[in-house]
Every structure is written in C-alpha cells, then in structure tokens.
C-alpha cells in the first residue's frame, strides 16, 4: 500500500545532466503570521485574476517560477534576479514557486524578498523532494522544511507540494498533517511530463490535494485530456509549468512577427501570445513563468492585463503555430536553446559530463 511512484529523475532532467505517514510532530515552528498582522498585499486592480477554489482567495493569473533561472554560484552577483523579482511583484504578481531541488533558487528568492520587504506579502509555493531512512520516516522531510524556512526566512508556506510525485503516497498524507498543524495553508502535487498526467488526475480525484502543478502550453496540450477537467470538477487549484516550453517556443518564432490577430487579445509580443493562450483555459489558476532577464520579465508581465482569447481564437492561435516550421519538433528539442544558467546545478552537470 505504501509503494511509491518512481523516485528517479525524469527523462528530461536526466537529459539535462548530459547537456497517513509519520507526521512532522517533533519539530517546533513559530506561530504563522496572521492575516491581521501580515503586511497588506498589492492591490489587484485590473489584473487578470483567478480564484483559489478551496479558499475563494484571488490570485493574479501569472506567477514567477525559479527553476534554473534563479540558481547562481555562491558569491556571484544576483542584482538581475532581484530586479526580476521587483518587476514581477511591483506589477502585482503574488505567486513565487521554488524548490530545494533548484540549486540556490530558494536562497536567491529569500534574499530578494527580504531586501525588498516583501516576504510575508507573497504567496510562496514550495516543494518537498524527499524519501526517508525507512518507510514512513519523516526525518528527511523535516530537515528539508527547516532548510527551506531558513533559506526563504518563512515561518510557514502558502503551498507545499510533493515534487514530481516523489514518495507521493507518504508525502501527501504527511503534508495534510502539516496543513492541520499550520506549516502550510495548502497541499499540492507536481509533475512536468505527460506520462504522469493520469497519476496527477488520480490524486485530484482523491480530494486530498488543494493544488496540482502540471505542464501545459500551446504546443503540449495533453493536460486538457484528464488533469484540467479533473481539477475543474473537484475544485482543485492549478499551477502551470512549462507554458513557454523552457524557451523552445521562442526559438521557433525567432525573427518572426506576431500575427495581426494577436492585437485582438492584447498580445504585444510572443511571450504574451503564449502565456495568454494558457491563462485563457478556465481551469488554470496561475501560470508560472521563469526568467533571469529583466527585459524578458517585462515582456511576460504584459500578459497580466487586457482581454484573453476565447476558444475560437485559441484554435486560431494553435493553427498559426502549427503552420510554422519546427513547431512539431519542440518536444525533441533540448530545453533552453542558446541559453546557459551557470549555477550549482550547471556546475554539477559539467562535472558529471567531464567524468563520463
């Protein structure tokens, strides 16, 4: 009954290397900041927002992801990442998604938020990538949580997610105990590969997760088959990863002008074109977009305002993209073409390549 989903790195993450359960009852946690004492959050204004099904709380439909982009080597400058964070938060973004798996990503996020006095204002989504010394052992989870507290300087988290379904049969029940104890407000599960969509939908159907994070883009629309309908039916929040296909969508349209019809839903650049396509699905709560470039952050943020494409327009958008050379090959293209993120993950990848 406690057999878990595979703990392995996914095929994509392996490729990157080349190119309940026992509760957390034993560790102390300071009381969470109450809604009455927390600093006021930015006004939502005319932002495109979605409601968290389980709480009725409104969130802007765009969030900041941090995989690879916020991973830096110790001692290297992080000014550009502080600026990306500032641009997102000043534009009204409230969700930041990170993970202990993301190298120095948690530390970079914590540094930026503390420096800008934003820490308790934002919706911080974090993750657990843990097993244990033995079945149902929670010691690894407790250490991971405490480490995340220190890096992000948070008493508790808005959302804790079982990262890529690792040890999911043990982790989700444990996270629900943490939710009861005030360590997290919401519980979620994540993955970034279509082969796990049925598993994600199964966890939604059980009703004991508040959020699911899944890959979804104008290229890869597989989540429309089971995950998004299941989330809509069960009132489960949905965070989206890979909406820009890790830079691969931009590579396909490099040097190409936007189609004239993009003006009809307020897209001023390709990033907004791709992000608004995903935001327009009514089951989507928040689309995570990661970047280390302040100029790209500005492009992304325009997707938070203006109209969204209706279903007829979304069909037209897909048809346009399918007419472009290279679009059908995105799934066979390495992540982040022509980009390099020299953090501790990249350093470890380089060391493994040298040894192999």
Q: Say if 43 falls within a structural domain.
A: no
Residues forming a β-bridge with 189 = 162, 212
Cα distances (angstroms) measured from residue 249 to each of 172, 184, 244, 279 = 33, 34, 6, 16
The pLDDT assigned to 92 comes to 96
Give the CATH number, domain containing residue 104.
3.20.20.100
pLDDT of residue 37: 33
pLDDT, tens digit (0-9, with 9 covering 90-100), for 36-77? 333 334 455 699 999 999 999 999 999 999 999 999 999 999
Measured over the CA atoms of residue 154, residue 160, residue 166 and residue 171, the dihedral's sign is positive
Q: Is 188 contained in some domain?
A: yes
pTM: 0.87
d(CA 237, CA 18): 34
Residue 78 sits in which domain range?
A: 54-350
9 vs 235: CA distance, rounded Å:
30
Residue 13 lies in a domain: no
> How many domains does one find in the chain?
1
Residue 174 has pLDDT above 90, yes or no: yes
Residue 185 counted as domain residue: yes
Residue (of 190, 161, 191, 154) closest to 175 by Cα position: 161
Question: How do strand 157-162 and strand 123-128 relate by DSSP bridges?
Answer: parallel
Domain presence at residue 216: yes
pLDDT for 3 beyond 90: no
Domain-located, residue 112: yes
Domain assignment present for residue 24? The answer is: no
């Amino acid at each position: 009954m406690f057999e878990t989903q595979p703990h392995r790195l996914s095929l994509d993450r392996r490729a990157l290397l080349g190119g309940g359960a026992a509760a957390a009852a034993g560790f102390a946690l300071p009381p969470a900041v109450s809604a009455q004492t927390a600093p006021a959050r930015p006004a939502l204004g005319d932002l495109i927002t979605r409601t968290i099904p389980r709480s009725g709380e409104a969130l802007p439909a765009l969030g900041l992801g941090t995989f690879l982009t916020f991973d830096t080597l110790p001692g290297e400058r992080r000014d550009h990442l502080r600026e990306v964070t500032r641009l997102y938060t000043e534009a009204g973004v409230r969700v930041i998604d990170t993970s202990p798996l993301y190298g120095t990503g948690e530390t970079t996020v914590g540094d930026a938020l503390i420096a800008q006095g934003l820490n308790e204002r934002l919706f911080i989504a974090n993750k657990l990538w843990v097993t244990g010394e033995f079945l149902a052992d929670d010691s690894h989870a407790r250490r991971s949580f405490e480490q995340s507290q220190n890096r992000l300087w948070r008493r508790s988290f808005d959302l804790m997610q079982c990262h890529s379904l690792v040890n999911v049969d043990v982790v989700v029940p444990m996270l629900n105990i943490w939710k009861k104890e005030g360590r997290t407000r919401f519980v979620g599960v994540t993955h970034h590969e279509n082969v796990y969509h049925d598993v994600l939908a199964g966890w939604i159907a059980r009703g004991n997760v508040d959020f699911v994070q899944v890959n979804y883009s104008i290229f890869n629309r597989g989540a429309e088959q089971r995950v998004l309908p299941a989330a809509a039916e069960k009132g489960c929040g949905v965070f989206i990863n890979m909406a820009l296909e890790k830079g691969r969508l931009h590579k396909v349209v490099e040097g190409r002008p936007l189609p004239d019809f993009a003006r009809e839903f307020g897209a001023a650049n390709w990033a907004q074109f791709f992000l608004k396509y995903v935001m327009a699905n009514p089951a989507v709560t928040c689309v995570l977009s990661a970047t280390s470039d302040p100029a790209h952050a500005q492009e992304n943020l325009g997707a938070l305002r203006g109209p969204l494409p209706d279903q007829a327009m979304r069909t037209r958008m897909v048809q346009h993209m399918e007419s472009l050379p290279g679009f059908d090959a995105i799934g066979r293209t390495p992540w982040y073409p022509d980009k390099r993120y020299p953090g501790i993950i990249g350093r470890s990848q380089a060391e493994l390549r040298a040894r192999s």
